[in-house]
Structure 1
């Protein structure tokens, strides 16, 4: 007899023969250092999972701080404490500074089955809807970000992130973090998955995600007023020179994106229409009415965040950029051969703004074209900078000279000890990377034998 229960949570009313598993950064020595120190300029595998299975939830939190000066806390004892300084840096006990752009310098990479190319490749922050390395509190159905009030409004601020998109795989899932930074960063994570006895169907659609940026977009009239009659009468039927959110070949369905726009003209950036080209169309069969309309807002962007669409960071609360999202959970855009998702940057591509986006979609394997990503130097956000200060020391007293000499000596002694603790923690991450995969294999074997 079939189960006639319907609704969003109907799956909870049926028994499924599956086994839960988790890849995590928990301290496998039984201690409380439940995070990994991701080494600089290195790739770390969070774990490999044998299928058939499905990743149902990814949670992470991270922080990247540069040591600026010798702390008053012992570098060895401090390394065993929780990585949260209860006394704030302004009080002078510690002096660390956030790396403001590490969310763009680190990548998340996920590879399915026997593929030799990843299906997910994006900056760590942008994948979780952190645009321009600037976290904002929001909650949608597939993603959410949670940020402490005192961290709001800071580039590179620590926060927690979650992804609930289901990610099925038949043979294997490999999750990696690539740190293209000269600094290490700490990463806590839980990756929850299920294991199944029977192989998934051949037509299973696999989760994909990629990031793209155009800076600047190639605008023809950045010096012409937005919404001027001269601009509004320019035609664009074929989407030539539109901003590209996604351009993919294969069979599947597009499920949404996040978009970050830094606007430079000082007017309005959202007059551009979304245009979807399905299966090789020369002219789009899906045409929108404005960028804010695609994100289900109107007359500009509001400070709203809903299950399927909304604002993550509003341009009025930043130094000039907007981060928005739209998820096609109930209205995925289907394609049999190819899909090109584009948006005009200003009407008829008038404006030369800085656009970046992360696309999410499902398609059957193999992925027809390898995903690529811009080098790290082309991913860094453009932000206003304070002018450099050329300071000259006044005439120093003997006490001042002694103080500076003592400080420099303490830094010479402190820095190598702190660096040594970083290296110890990086080795722990490499070791536990192997242990995670070994444990996942053990769990799989036990499940298969039962």
Structure 2
């Protein structure tokens, strides 16, 4: 009988541990109401998030009747999404707009979101809104992952928690030449006891069009100090026929020089797939976009050293290191190779929006591609 009780106790303990790991990323107990945490939300209906200040704008049917559900983001303008003081956590961002409706203009690459933590002057988040919200190539498709959930008509949801200790400020800038309409809501909590060394979310956008032959594309350029790599949304536009994804992901950390500590086996393997890429999405890994252009383009078949006319492929894939964390203590750099099958070096058009946590003050993110560089060569996908 004692053995039976012991086994039941062990089973109960294991069940509790599994339940704990299954909690949302922010780790809040669903039933813990005995705390000092305050819930707030910012939108155009309550741009400061202050208590009792929502829904005061008037429409043609009266005050508080959908008076300010959106704002107009003119070409060249910057709109402040939020400026929050205190210690808290941004828990969720929802956003939609008219930026994905045009088949001529890749506005999801033209509009840029920037985030600033705790008074730091340079942004810790700087990314085109489409890539930040999980959609590469300025094309939104409906799918769900642990970080993003996207509707069929450019409805974006972002779920990574974003802690801050003194201040959180976000802006949205339209760097294109066409106006757009934006709807948004930022849900956050205050009165949280974060330490000064808590990791703040950082997001870096990079594009190499094309990549440099035999030079691995950096998903995350070198960062120093402590941190945790969360993952990436990667976009690939093929510039040569044949299979492009034999390249390995490499994580250089804490003194690694020529060779990394973490090394994968292939590009599709890194996003949890195999034997080529398939349009398959899961919580922590997958491919959300896999399309070919209807038009054919002259490309060099590298192994045969001859030019052929073939469509370009556009791929958007992602990988989230949430149950399998990648921590570093002193420094870290993450790269991916451009290798074809079987085997040869190649160059393609690669983009990445990479996400990680590190304390502030933190180093600047590095050069940000111009609007022209970000939006180039996307029309064959958007307007085939």
The TM-score with structure 2 as length reference comes to 0.79
Greater helix fraction, Structure 1 or Structure 2: 1
Which of the residues 53, 57, 75 maps onto 1:29?
57
Q: Please report how far the alpha carbon of residue 349 of structure 1 lies from its aligned counterpart in structure 2 after TM superposition.
A: 7.4
SS at match of 2:269: helix
Given the alignment, which residue of 251, 268, 274 partners 2:243? Answer: 268
Q: Does 1:6 align with 2:26?
A: no
Deviation at 1:368, TM superposition (A): 2.2
Cα distance per residue 1:412-435 (max 9 Å; x no partner): xxxxxxxxxxxxxxxxxxxxxxxx
Contact 2:254-2:332 at 8 Å conserved across structures? yes
Gaps of 5+ in 1: 66-95, 149-158, 221-240, 387-450
Tell me the distance in 1 between the aligned counterparts of 2:130 and 2:379: 20
1:289 aligns with 2:265: yes
Shift of 1:34: 1.1
Whether 2:228 is the aligned partner of 1:253: answer: yes
CA distance 1:6–1:383, shift in 2 (3 Å): closer
Aligned pair count reads 323
Which residue is 1:302 aligned to? 278
Shift of 1:45: 0.6
Matching residue within 57, 69, 73 for 2:92? 57
| Greater fraction strand | 2
Per-residue deviation, 1:97 = 5.1
For structure 2, list consecutive stretches of 5 or more residues without a partner in the other structure. 1-15, 46-54, 60-65, 295-311
Report the CA distance between 1:202 and its aligned residue: 2.4
Q: Which residue of 2 aligns with 1:244?
A: 218
CA contact (8 A) 1:108 1:124 kept: yes
Q: Which residue of 1 aligns with 2:337?
A: 344
Q: 1:112 aligns with which of 98, 114, 117?
A: 117
> Larger deviation: 369-378 or 179-188?
369-378
Superimposed CA distance per residue, residues 314-361 of structure 1 (whole angstroms, 9 cap, x where no aligned partner) = 135885211000000111211112111000011587111100010000
Q: Where do 1:141-290 residues align within 5 Å?
A: 141-148=146-153, 159-196=154-191, 199-219=193-213, 241-247=215-221, 248-282=223-257, 283-290=259-266
Q: Distance in 2 between matches of 1:183 and 1:128?
A: 20
TM-superposition CA deviations, 1:288-309 (whole Å, max 9, x none):
1100000010001112111101
Distance in 2 (alpha carbons) for counterparts of 1:97 and 1:207: 31
Q: Distance in 1 between matches of 2:114 and 2:69?
A: 22
The equivalent of 1:334 in structure 2 is 327
Q: Secondary structure at the match of 1:125?
A: helix
Distance in 2, matches of 1:133 and 1:295, equals 20
Aligned-residue CA RMSD (Å): 2.3
Task: State the Cα distance separating 1:378 from its structure 2 match.
Answer: 0.7
Alpha carbons of 1:105 and 1:37: their partners in 2 closer, same or farther (altered >3 Å)?
A: same
Corresponding residue number in structure 2 for 1:79: none
Alignment correspondent of 1:46: 81
Shift of 1:278: 0.3
Counterpart-to-counterpart distance in 2, 1:185 and 1:280: 46
Q: Following the alignment from structure 1 to structure 2, what is the Cα–Cα distance between the partners of residues 313 and 245?
A: 19
TM-superposed CA distance for 1:161, in Å, is 0.4
Aligned to 2:37: 18
* Secondary structure, aligned partner of 1:356: strand
Q: Is 2:128 the partner of 1:135?
A: no
Aligned mates of 1:117, 1:176 — CA distance in 2: 12
When normalised by structure 1's length, the TM-score is 0.68
1:382 aligns with 2:380: no
